[in-house]
Amino acid sequence: MNGPQRPLLPWLLPLILFLVYLPYASTLDLAVAGHFVQSDGRFHAPAWCLFIYTYGLLPGQLLFAGSVAVLIASYFARRFIRYRSYALYVALTLIVGSGIFGHAVFKQFWDRPRPKQVVLFGGKYPYCPLTQPYNGPSDRFLRSLPSGHATMGLYFLTLYFIGKRLGRQRIARGGLWITVALSIVLAWARLAQGGHFLSDVIVSIFIMWMTAYWLDYFILKRVHESDSNKTPCELTTRSVRIVNYG
């Protein structure tokens, strides 16, 4: 009875919190955006924000490239086979979360002006609440939802879930701290630049958490359960191989 209930809280609680947040999304959007607007009514972000905007995606890109490299190597070198499922998990989280949901779905089909594009902050488009469809003039540059930069920081949630599956608390804590630190810096820079509303960032958090959680459940959980069903002799043999390869 307890087994099937275990995965309920990690996805149900974020969903409830997200639904509770929605009625306040517009108020918080305008309040946070207004905090970054200067006396002339426009966004003038500090110089470091441009650096973050330009190079802030690099850590996530390196993590993705590394996972793909390990995944490919696992089909040519036996020493990488034991990492295959983890590499697949890391690669798919970015492809599904940021790639499919973030860019292919929301950014392509959910027109939403960025803060610097809305009339309230010196632009020419009406503000579009998160819970309503956009009814203003069409423009291919209305791609505020979600925050692509934030998704790249949240991508490091994969290390947290891998650490939890392996029972390696240092990896889990390290992945969580990297996720929090990098996501805050990336999100702050984009908010200060008028590139995103707070709700864009919240949606990014929701997308990446759900993606990382469910892919962990369907990919890494299977590997973990497979190992738990092996005999002590099989596990000993595997450990010896890992030591020899390491």
Averaged confidence pLDDT in the chain = 89
Asked whether residue 201 is assigned to any structural domain, the reply reads yes
- The total of other beta-carbon atoms located within 10 Å of residue 37's CB is 18
| Cα 228 to Cα 3: distance, rounded to the nearest angstrom | 15
| Structural tokens at position 115 | 């803060």
- Render pLDDT for 108-149 as a digit per residue (tens, 0 to 9): 888 999 999 999 999 999 999 999 988 888 887 899 999 999
Torsion sign over Cα 225, 228, 234, 239: positive
Give the integer Cα–Cα distance in Å for 4 and 23. Answer: 32
Crossing angle for the helix pair 157-166 and 198-215, nearest 10 degrees? 30
Give the model's pLDDT for residue 230.
53
Yes or no: say if 116 and 194 are a contact pair by the CB < 8 Å rule. yes
Count of structural domains within the chain: 1
Q: Indicate whether 132 belongs to any domain.
A: no
The tens digit of pLDDT for each residue in 158-201 reads 999 999 999 999 999 999 999 999 999 999 999 999 999 999 99
The most confident of the ranges 53-67, 104-118, 137-151, 229-243 is: 53-67
pLDDT of residue 234: 46
Number of other residues whose CB lies within 10 A of the CB of residue 184:
13
| Residue 18 lies inside a defined structural domain of this protein | no
**Overall pTM > 0.85:** yes
Q: Residue 35 domain-assigned?
A: no
4-18, 137-151, 165-179, 220-234: range with lowest mean pLDDT: 220-234
Residue 30 included in any domain: no
Domain of residue 101, residue span = 46-110+145-239
Q: How confident is the model at residue 226 (pLDDT cuts 50, 70, 90)?
A: low
Q: What percent of the chain stands above pLDDT 70?
A: 88
